[in-house]
Structure 1
């Protein structure tokens, strides 16, 4: 568990570093006031918002498109109608409070929302809901006056606890609560999915909070909003890379990544081809869901290959391993170790009739009669670059032929 937590923190670090960098730059008066970059700060969020929307639209990421639009609308609204930040008049009481509450609520909503397409019925409804929020906020700020406006002001600036506990923040207590709750739900989503997309949402939320904290300093607000948008853009790039180069089922590099890495091989290398023995029988006997579990288990074990190797899913039940060694004999001990790890990995097929989660079922679920343990093995063929096989595709073909020999000899072995 501690290793997973460390890994999560490590993956979040680059995003949070963006926020820290923005905070440091914001404290550099020469950077904010005197530099040429300062002149572009007010328009930078609009540029990043446009780029982000275009990128997310191209990859059909509807929730991200709406996320960019929400942040862009908040920045435009605050820049146009709230030039002096959190003031004590009605603009601060309604507009500042409303924006600082609506932004985290919308971000966490979009973080959890499923992709439905921007122009689909669901997408248009979401867009209408977001637009209505800003419309009503401006309506209560500039048009509606009197008792109704005062009631809205009282709700937005509600003091739920002693001000002593929230004196560290410029935001209303409802906004502070919205940010804390939203951060909690985003962290939960991240723990469930561990996706770069969730890391982007978390960093965007944190950066937007600091943007509201700096209300009244237009340059620093623009800086933090730019970081919020940039974090989301970086997350989209990482997700797009994963979609292209990482196999969705097994979470190891896929065939496209293999083809790309084969172009970068040096003068000495070994290629091994492997597949799961009797995999068709697994699918026919236990179903494709069990077959997918077998694929994931084997992929996990193959990813542990030693000797500097790297495993890829080539297709179906077939995997490929690239190793930076010059001779087959040097690679075989590592491949044999890998084969043994798979052979000795227990794979348990859960009974479809096992009891549900209750006191009685918890005892029976561990009983041998409800589960079936099966053995999974792999066969491996290996070949090295040489005079007979001068390019990676030729070496791969030779390794595939060696794999066929391993299967012909009885499977569960390494052949060269």
Structure 2
């Protein structure tokens, strides 16, 4: 049985890693699921709950098996949870668990000395830490390329787990580090889930749900502007969806830089600007500056494919093209209109801008 000093950190590690695992399952963060499965099993081993053989065997098992499994998970491309590769890792984890539970006392020292790289002239804890830190480096390298929160978080988690492998760590110290790693994973999963719910993945701006919640909590006078990219469907048909995505990202960057406003992606090629504490005069000036900045932008496009691959009537554009926006602006006065009425007024003003030839600002 584990000692009292080992029991409480071990129990906390199991509970925190289990909670993080459930959240990762719920939000389909499959790489995090696989990492947390290994971490939860390692936490159980450290607590002596799984083996019933005390923290020392659990600590040995963590250093023997977890590093290889974590390196495999970090190196593999992320796939659906029940993909063959993931099932193979789960099978290896089940084998490691069985060995930890069932290996006789006289056999265990031989297994312990064989994993990992028992022939190396150094402590197995150092070897285990090196393997886990290599897995962390893989995740961080992937983060450098993809810039996703979960890859960065998994890199941090694995760094903490790597420290837990060091020879100076006893079961209670390793369990405390597993608690820290689980908390990092929890924060990352919740943050990624928030972004999935409230941030548009393409533009990187808060989405319509975030706008609705912001307006519901907002009081006082403010101005709202609806921004629409002119002739965006034609732009997509002529230059392709990849160029269209680049155009939307470029427009989003200009909206984000608009002084005194919070930008939202409303849907499709439509955006919204919220000017809190601003009157329509200052908001209109900001919208005019925004319109001019966007009209001065150039979007790089590639030549359309020749022959049958090109849509009828589409011209092969290459080099740089420009986009423009139409903007409808309305002010919310607490004595006259609510947030819904202000949005409707801004939408009507947007249609006025389109009717006036586009690439202009109109008041509602």
> Structure 2: 5+ residue runs without aligned partners?
307-315
What do the CA deviations read for 1:208-242 (whole angstroms, capped 9, x no partner)?
12322376533322211111111111111011101
CA distance in 2, matches of 1:206, 1:154: 18
Is 2:94 aligned against 1:158?
Answer: no
Displacement of 1:123 after TM fit?
A: 4.3
CA contact (8 A) 1:271 1:322 kept: yes
Displacement of 1:52 after TM fit?
A: 1.7
Displacement of 1:405 after TM fit?
A: 0.8
Is 2:288 aligned against 1:336?
Answer: yes
| Structure-2 change in CA distance of 1:219 and 1:277 (3 Å) | same
What is the match of residue 373 of structure 1? 320
What do the CA deviations read for 1:297-349 (whole angstroms, capped 9, x no partner)?
21122111112x11111011100010113411011111111111111111111
Displacement of 1:351 after TM fit?
A: 2.6
2:163 to 203, 206, 210: 210
Displacement of 1:250 after TM fit?
A: 1.4
CA contact (8 A) 2:330 2:343 kept: yes
2:226 to 273, 278, 300: 273
Is 2:30 aligned against 1:68?
Answer: no
What is the SS of the residue equivalent to 1:273? Answer: strand
CA distance in 1, matches of 2:23, 2:92: 23
Displacement of 1:173 after TM fit?
A: 4.6
What is the SS of the residue equivalent to 1:155? Answer: coil
Displacement of 1:372 after TM fit?
A: 2.5
Displacement of 1:352 after TM fit?
A: 5.3
What do the CA deviations read for 1:61-107 (whole angstroms, capped 9, x no partner)?
3332222110011122233367465xxxxx69964641463354145
What do the CA deviations read for 1:1-42 (whole angstroms, capped 9, x no partner)?
xxxxxxxxxxxxxxxxxxxxxxxxxxxxxxx97xxxx97423
Is 2:209 aligned against 1:245?
Answer: no
Displacement of 1:140 after TM fit?
A: 7.2
Is 2:263 aligned against 1:311?
Answer: yes
CA contact (8 A) 1:104 1:182 kept: yes
Q: Which moved more, 1:396-405 or 1:212-221?
A: 212-221
Displacement of 1:289 after TM fit?
A: 2.6
What is the match of residue 67 of structure 2? 101
Is 2:78 aligned against 1:131?
Answer: no
| Structure-2 change in CA distance of 1:96 and 1:326 (3 Å) | closer
CA distance in 2, matches of 1:199, 1:145: 36
What is the match of residue 298 of structure 1? 251
1:385 to 312, 319, 332: 332
What is the SS of the residue equivalent to 2:202? Answer: coil
CA contact (8 A) 1:61 1:115 kept: no
Paired residue total: 348
Supply the RMSD in Å over aligned alpha carbons: 3.2
CA distance in 2, matches of 1:341, 1:121: 51
| Structure-2 change in CA distance of 1:241 and 1:115 (3 Å) | farther
CA distance in 2, matches of 1:150, 1:39: 23
> Structure 1: 5+ residue runs without aligned partners?
1-31, 86-90, 164-169, 355-368
What is the match of residue 352 of structure 2? 405
CA contact (8 A) 2:10 2:43 kept: no
CA contact (8 A) 1:97 1:157 kept: no
What is the match of residue 47 of structure 1? 15
CA contact (8 A) 2:24 2:32 kept: yes
What do the CA deviations read for 1:337-368 (whole angstroms, capped 9, x no partner)?
111111111111123579xxxxxxxxxxxxxx
CA contact (8 A) 1:273 1:320 kept: yes
CA distance in 2, matches of 1:225, 1:259: 39
What is the match of residue 309 of structure 2? none
What do the CA deviations read for 1:370-412 (whole angstroms, capped 9, x no partner)?
9322110111110111267521111011011111111111111
TM-score normalised by structure 1 residue count? 0.74
CA distance in 1, matches of 2:331, 2:339: 9
